[in-house]
Amino acid sequence: MKHVVKLPKDISYNNLLAYVKKKVDAAKGKVNADIRLSYKDGTMSLDIVDDDDVHYFIHDVCGQKDQAQKLFISINSEIRSFIAFMRPLIIIDAAHLKGKYKGTNLLAVGMDGNNQIIPIATGVCQGETGESWTLLLRKLRECIGVVPGLAIISDRHQSIIQACNTVFHENFHGSCCRHLMMNCNLKGDLVRYLFWKSCKAYSVEAFESKMKQLRAKRPHAVKKLEEVGFDKWSRAYCPANRYNYLTSNSAESINALTRLVRKVPITMLMEYYRRLLQDWYCQRREKYIDAPELELTDWASMKVQRRMYKSENWEVRGIALCAVYQVIDHHNSHIVDFLKRECSCRQWQLSGLPCGHVCAVCRSEGLTNCNQWALPWFTKTNLKGTYHEMVFPLPDERNWHNPGNLPKLKPPAMVKQQSGRPKNKDRFPSKNEEPISKQCGRCGCKSHTREACMQPLPKSGNGKQPFDCSGVRKRKSAIEREVIIESNPGNETEVMNNPNMEVDEEYFENGRIYADWEDLDWFGQPSENHYGVDEVGIGEASSSGINLNSYPESLTPYHLDDFQFTSNFN
């Protein structure tokens, strides 16, 4: 059932939301109104939808010219999941719209117990201003209410600082250490190492030790860090709990995910967020539906397991049995108080997971695990509850009831031009300018680039991908190259062995190595020499006209079987 509100001509658009809620209250007998903004034929329409499963909070502030300027959307499922089962942590960021109608996409995300990102709220406005952020945070506060221990992480944009001081003045607002590092122009491996060690230090003594070394190398940067305030970015001086999150990379990841979707109209962008949540909720619900109760999530269990291994040789001495213990590690001595759920290293309190000293005490007392000392956010019980609800799609637009007299809102107009040089993709080429053709660096195809290449990677002799010990793919590998020169009648082969030769893996990622890769002609007839690779596409030309199983007869081909890999991954 749908209730349509007809707006009078003389209504003030500043009181639009209050007027609509009043009409819906009289029509449905409810105070909570579901307001939907639809876009069609170059105009925007405002109507009311009675759907409890897909509950939208949308707030429009229109100017005198009936042009939409601000939009806020949040779904009930994610709001209830955030309040009941997730850490009280919100990471916010903004990204520019790239479509016909410019603007800024505001975003607020949270993190579940398995360190997975969940968008909580999003909005669209003309620019990243204090008024826009204040509106989004104020509407977000109406949705989540008062959350004890709430922490907000963002960059140091002045509009965000102003909005947080206005709306969440009683909560902690921390700065992103990554943005702060770039603003202070900290370059060099040693300098960045000292900076991140200072950010991650739990004790004041460790923080001051690293800052002293950093001050000797970058005094101007340290002065700027002092002006920002150590309490805004360091763990040691943080007056509240920022739950071990130092950056706003989670919101940046969602912005990177929507980099192409931000070119489409606003309503399609909002529908993309809804569909993204629908897919994530469905997949993760099925993944954790049979998860045991009271166990830690995979991410939290991995963290605790590493601390267990790290503390296996630490000495434990009792002060009060089953209450207070002294743990001596390789560097310091710390006190673990189970009654207060505190450790003097402060890692247990700030992360919510047992630190190495707690793990050492649990091992000395003969406990099989220390899951009981982790906060409930990291249990699989809360993880299952996070994705318990379902996110339903919107009904088909053809089934919407449109009386034809809905108020028309004009598309948004940019009052202020976006910062930065606009990208001109249809410029006229200069005189004598030759077009640059893009070519894939892996397979040589001109129809795509290396980032979009879907050709299979080679496998080593043991059937595994050639990765190094840290899990990163090696770009160069030392191999023994055996080049067949000529076979004599006695079936003897003369070879040239050069075990120290290094060959870039890009030259054989598709199954063959050529003497001159640059002069390779990729087009030809399929080869009958089928070798041991995936059976998909063998002996057949690909859809792009490239045949990876053929080579020109004028060049000397080399096969992967002619090379022997050395398994030296030290």
Token look-up 């749908």 returns: 2
Whether 105 contacts 160, CB under 8 Å: no
Chain centre distance of CA 32: 32
CA distances from 371 to 292, 307, 380, 436 (A): 13, 13, 11, 58
Tally of residues, the chain: 570
What is the secondary structure of 234-287 as a DSSP string? -STT-SS--TT----HHHHHHHHHTTTGGGS-HHHHHHHHHHHHHHHHHHHHHH
pTM of the model: 0.67
Q: What is the mean pLDDT of residues 432-460?
A: 77
What is the secondary structure of 422-451 as a DSSP string? PP-TTPPPPTTPPPPPP--TTT--SSS-GG
Token look-up 């909580």 returns: 120
CA atoms within 13 A on the CB side of 206: 17
pLDDT digits 0-9 by tens, 230-281: 999 999 999 999 998 999 999 999 999 999 899 888 888 999 999 999 999 9
What are the residue ranges spanned by the domains of the chain?
13-48, 70-279, 298-378
pLDDT digits 0-9 by tens, 342-360: 999 999 999 999 999 999 9
Give 414's pLDDT tier (boundaries 50, 70, 90): low
Whether 151 contacts 88, CB under 8 Å: yes
**How does DSSP classify residue 48?**
E
For 413, the token pair is: 């107009």
Q: Is the dihedral of CA 268, 273, 276, 281 positive or negative?
A: negative
Q: What is the mean pLDDT of residues 464-490?
A: 43
pLDDT digits 0-9 by tens, 77-102: 999 999 999 999 999 999 998 877 78
φ/ψ bin of 440: left (φ > 0), alpha (ψ from -120 to 50), beta (otherwise): beta
Token look-up 């992967």 returns: 560
Chain centre distance of CA 307: 25
CA distances from 170 to 1, 79, 103, 230 (A): 41, 21, 30, 19
Least confident of 45-49, 192-196, 534-538: 534-538
What pLDDT is recorded for position 10? Answer: 52
Buried b (16+ CB within 10 A) or exposed e, 471-480: eeeeeebebe
For 138, the token pair is: 């104020």
